[in-house]
Amino acid sequence: MRIGVLGAGQLGRMLALAGYPLANTFVFYDISGSPSVGLGEVIVDRGGEYLNDFLSRVDRVTYEFEHLPVSIAERIADVKPVHPTPRSLQVCQNREAEKTLFGELGIATPKWKIADSAESLRQAAEELGCPVVAKSNTEGYDGKGQAILRSPEEALEAWTVINHPRLMVEKFVDFSREVSIIGVRGADGDVAVYPIAENIHHNGILRYSLAPAPSVSKTVAAEAKRYLHAIMNELDYVGVLALELFDTADGLVANEMAPRVHNSGHWTIEGAQTSQFENHIRAITGQPLGDTTARGVSCMVNIIGEHGDISRILELPYTHVHLYDKAERPGRKLGHINVTAEHYDELIWRVRNCASFLPGVPEFRCSLAKG
């Protein structure tokens, strides 16, 4: 099958790497002007002139990034099958729509309010009770376009700094850790869910994902699964969906979701029976879903900004290096390393050893190893 992918970054690259063995080919549609996929055919279209050309070369379309106009996805859906649905894209692009949907589906969220002026931000902060997190309602990612308000008096400054006409204002959640759950739904409605991953961020960027997350009770795991099923069924979803959650004393609280393969699912390449990338391809091409069971325990370490000593890391027998063929730049995702092990103790020292060859990586701390 000829698969068209909207976006042409590392997620597209890994989708193609998983899709070629199943005899698929790939055409990427890039509106950024700087594709980094490095595989398949790439159509760079900053002016929107080549969409029909792109569509004439593919059998169906999916996305690897969600910050593209929904109108493009809708135009495409008139001509070719698009997975997931444009509605999924629309909901994921808009924090208000996303949190409203969560509420309708009985999925716990932080208490929230919308602000459309500095004064309404101040009011929201007062009513919710500080601290609160203010986020641009659209276009935010990796913690960008956000501010924490420790008192309502900080509203004017936060409003000016974020500089966005509409803000999602959330009560600050007192969480013990951040986790995510990734699932895949086939065209026939079949759903498969990966074990929950524990995610460690630094300056808003994901640095480590440990999977399966340790000490997840059966109740919590069942709750997370229920959330995913509810969202995917409601959106008539086909493909991989990622849901980011806060783990709190009162259970899981949903933060946001992504209508695509996700950085916190990269561990599945070597850490699960079937990777998230292969399962996305299987789903959108109408094939049976693959087994989502974990193989031992694993941890993904992101390579950010600088590559570090990759040769030394390649010498370690328990690492799997994935490079995105991108130039070094502060804060840029250049690749990741999957570290695999039989049990957590072994995994923790392996991750720390691997990280010692990566410059600027924060020390590995997780719910099992705090210091």
Q: Which is nearer to ligand AMP, 177 or 312 (CB)?
A: 177
Determine which residue in the list 256, 257, 284, 285 makes contact with ligand AMP, applying CB under 6 A.
Answer: 256
Of residues 134 and 354, the one with the C-beta less far from ligand AMP: 134
Helices (H), the chain: 10-19, 51-56, 70-77, 86-93, 95-104, 118-128, 155-162, 218-234, 268-271, 276-284, 310-315, 344-355
Nearer to ligand AMP, 243 or 341 (CB): 243
Cα 340 to Cα 337: distance, rounded to the nearest angstrom: 10
Residue of 20, 50, 172, 344 that binds ligand AMP (CB under 6 A): 172
Closest CA to 336 of 293, 277, 296: 277
Among 7, 12, 140, 195, interactor with ligand AMP by CB under 6 A:
140
**Cα 78 to the center of its chain, rounded Å:** 27
> Is residue 170 part of the contact set for ligand AMP (CB under 6 A)?
yes
Judge contact between 168 and 135, C-beta under 8 A.
Answer: yes
66 makes contact with ligand AMP (CB under 6 A): no
The verdict on 197 binding ligand AMP (CB under 6 A) reads no
Which residue in 19, 110, 152, 265 binds ligand AMP (CB under 6 A)?
A: 110
Helices (H), 45-183: 51-56, 70-77, 86-93, 95-104, 118-128, 155-162
Min dist CB 256 to ligand AMP, Å, is 5
Q: How far is the CB of 152 from ligand AMP (least distance, A)?
A: 16
**Which CB sits closer to ligand AMP, 168 or 193?**
168
Cβ closest to ligand AMP, residue 54 vs residue 227? 227
User: Do residues 261 and 64 make contact, with C-beta atoms less than 8 angstroms apart?
Assistant: yes
Could you tell me which stretch among 14-22, 54-62, 169-177, 336-344 binds ligand AMP (CB under 6 A)? 169-177
- Total number of residues that touch ligand AMP (CB under 6 A): 14
Q: State how far the Cα of 270 lies from the Cα of 261, in Å rounded to an integer.
A: 15
Is 204 one of the binding residues for ligand AMP (CB under 6 A)? yes
Specify burial of residue 297 (Cβ count, 10 A radius: 0-12, 13-18, 19+).
buried
Residue 191 CB, shortest distance to ligand AMP, in Å, is: 24
Under rule CB under 6 A, residue 201 binds ligand AMP: yes
Q: CB of 65 within 8 A of CB of 29?
A: no
User: Which long-range CB contacts under 8 A does 118-123 form with residues at least 24 apart?
Assistant: 118/155, 118/156, 118/159, 118/160, 119/155, 121/149, 121/155, 121/158, 121/159, 121/167, 121/169, 122/152, 122/153, 122/155, 122/156, 123/152
* Inter-residue contact 237 to 84 (CB < 8 Å): yes
| Residue (143 or 165) nearer to ligand AMP, CB | 143
- Asked if 143 touches ligand AMP (CB under 6 A), the answer is yes
Q: Closest separation between CB of residue 93 and ligand AMP, Å?
A: 13
List Cα–Cα distances, 150 to 116, 126, 134, in angstroms.
19, 10, 11
Q: Give the nearest distance from C-beta 319 to ligand AMP in angstroms.
A: 26
Return the number of the residue (94 or 255) whose C-beta is nearest ligand AMP: 255
Q: Does the footprint of ligand AMP cover residue 178 (CB under 6 A)?
A: yes
Q: Which of 88, 136, 255, 263 binds ligand AMP (CB under 6 A)?
A: 255
**Binding residues for ligand AMP, per CB under 6 A?**
110, 133, 135, 140, 143, 170, 172-173, 178, 201, 204, 244, 255-256
